[in-house]
Amino acid sequence: MLADTAVLARDCAARKVGLAAFNVVLLDHAEAFVDAAENTGLPLVLQLSQNAVKYHGGRLRPLGRALIELAEASTVPVSVHLDHAESTDLCREAVELGFTSIMYDGSKLPDAQNRETTAEITAFAHEHGVSVEAELGEVGGKNGVHDPSARTNPEDAAKFVADTGVDLLAVAVGSSHAMATREAVLDNQLIAAIHELVPVPLVLHGSSGVPDEGMVAAIQAGMTKINVSTHLNVVFTQGVRQILDENPKIVDPRKYVGPATHLVQEEVERLMRLYAQA
């Protein structure tokens, strides 16, 4: 059933468990994620990033509509989320297409402009019954707000939510995007401090780099929506590479994409249960 991301996140936050949010690159991934959600009986966020839309030729509708239809047909609550959209036009398109939440990423803008634009896109989305995730401005380092050294100030976070009206807030607490190893150490005291002051569910980007025990501790400290992309890409690519190495004559993509996707589904089920038991 198609669900609202903010509603799912608020419910998970109230129960002090994590909400799994996995990024889709191929339709195969989305199908595996939904199958995993149904097997575990747990809610899910299907995420499609601006970069993934670019990969698909800049066309949001084909894969976006497929995600919505998968969510609608699911036996468990599944939301469809636009991730890391720096384009307000893309945000508006996703809202009008039927996505149930969007993340407007104005973190590279000057702080005042980020707040103003985020408030504008939030008002538009709310008029259409769509939830909004956002994040504070760039703190420093080549990875911006997701540099491992970046940290969100709890008071700034609370004011940002008040200024913009967003429904979820991504915060910088020690994770980093595109980590292929799981070595990140999160600042759980900071998570707890932000959680205490910020009235909306918190979102962790760069979760691929966080080991299991670190993720459980972060959820217990107040983190709710857990975004995972690179880790699952690593699982998928390792699976494809092994199959092709062992079977060099294979040319049918179904014979290596299918088994590799199944490995991803197994890992997704494991992560979903981990987050739900935190």
Length of the chain: 278
- Averaged over 213-242, what is the pLDDT? 94
Residue whose pair of structure tokens reads 């707000």 in the numeric block: 145
Summarize the annotated binding site for Zn(2+) as residue ranges.
84, 105, 135, 177, 205
For the chain, domain boundaries = 5-276
Instruction: State the average pLDDT over residues 161-181.
Output: 80
- Report the mean per-residue pLDDT for the chain: 91
Task: List the one residue out of 212, 200, 216 whose CA is nearest residue 160.
Answer: 200
Q: Are 2 and 68 in contact (CB under 8 A)?
A: yes
Residue 41 pLDDT > 70, yes or no?
A: yes
In the CATH scheme, what is the homologous superfamily, with its name and number, of domain 5-276?
Aldolase class I (3.20.20.70)
17-36 confidence digits (pLDDT tens): 999 999 999 999 999 999 99
> Do 24 and 119 contact (CB within 8 A), yes or no?
no
Percent of all residues in the chain with a pLDDT value above 70, rounded to a whole number: 91
Q: What is the mean pLDDT of residues 123-147?
A: 74
154 Cβ neighbours under 8 A, 6+ residues apart = 190, 193, 194, 196, 197, 198
Distances (CA, A) of 130 to 3, 21, 94, 143, 187: 10, 17, 10, 28, 31
Confirm if 109 and 79 have CB atoms less than 8 A apart.
no
- Annotated binding residues, as ranges? 84, 105, 135, 177, 205
User: What's the pLDDT at 207?
Assistant: 72
Which stretches does DSSP call E strand in the chain?
A: 19-23, 44-49, 78-85, 101-104, 131-135, 168-170, 202-204, 223-228
Mean pLDDT, residues 247-259: 96
Residues labelled catalytic: 83
Give 145-156 pLDDT, tens digit per residue.
Answer: 555 567 788 999
- Alpha-carbon span 257 to 33, nearest angstrom: 15
Which of the four pLDDT bands, split at 50, 70 and 90, describes residue 141? very low
Angle at 186 between CA 180 and CA 192, to 5 degrees: 145
